[in-house]
Structure formats: C-alpha cells, structure tokens
Amino acid sequence: MTTIPVPATKATPVVLPVSKAVLWLAGTAIVALALYYFIGVDQGATSVFGKSMVIHEFVHDARHFLGFPCH
C-alpha cells in the first residue's frame, strides 16, 4: 500500500478588523430580519405595503417549505 504525501499546510485564521466585523454583522442581521419578515410574517393585512398579497404570494412556496403557518 502506498501513501500519498500530503503537503503540510497550516490553517490561518481570518483576521478582520472590529469595525468591518460590526458592519458585516449588522448587515447580515438586517438582511436576515427582512427575509424572516417577508417569508414568515407578511400576511397582507399586516403587510408594510398595505393590504397587498403580492409579497405573500411571491414567497408562498418558501413559507410552506420552511414550515411557517400560512392557511
């Protein structure tokens, strides 16, 4: 049995300044909350866009796929 030599590589940590990390974290949280709202909460009557069901219908399959209550 032969062994294939594996080059010795050392993992290097990602170095990110705190100011950039805060921006990435805040941006990710805002996008995640917006997605959560539009997929899980927006129901027409409580929609931020009025009584329109357009967004609800647009994300309807995702709502069912993720198990959010719908109808």
Q: Which residues contact 39 (CB under 8 A, 6 or more apart)?
A: 59, 62, 63, 66, 68
Q: Which of residues 7-66 bind Zn ion (CB under 5 A)?
A: none
Count of residues that interact with Zn ion, criterion CB under 5 A? 2
Shortest spacing between CB 48 and Zn ion, in angstroms: 20
Using the minimum distance from each CB to Zn ion, give the nearer residue, 29 or 70: 70
Using the minimum distance from each CB to Zn ion, give the nearer residue, 3 or 61: 61
Candidates 26, 31, 62, 70; binder of Zn ion (CB under 5 A) is: 70
48-65 core/surface letters (b: 16 or more CB in 10 A; e: else): eeeeeeebbeebeeebee
Shortest spacing between CB 64 and Zn ion, in angstroms: 5
How far is it, in rounded angstroms, from Cα 66 to Cα 51?
A: 23
**Which spans of this chain sit near Zn ion (rule: CB under 5 A)?**
70-71
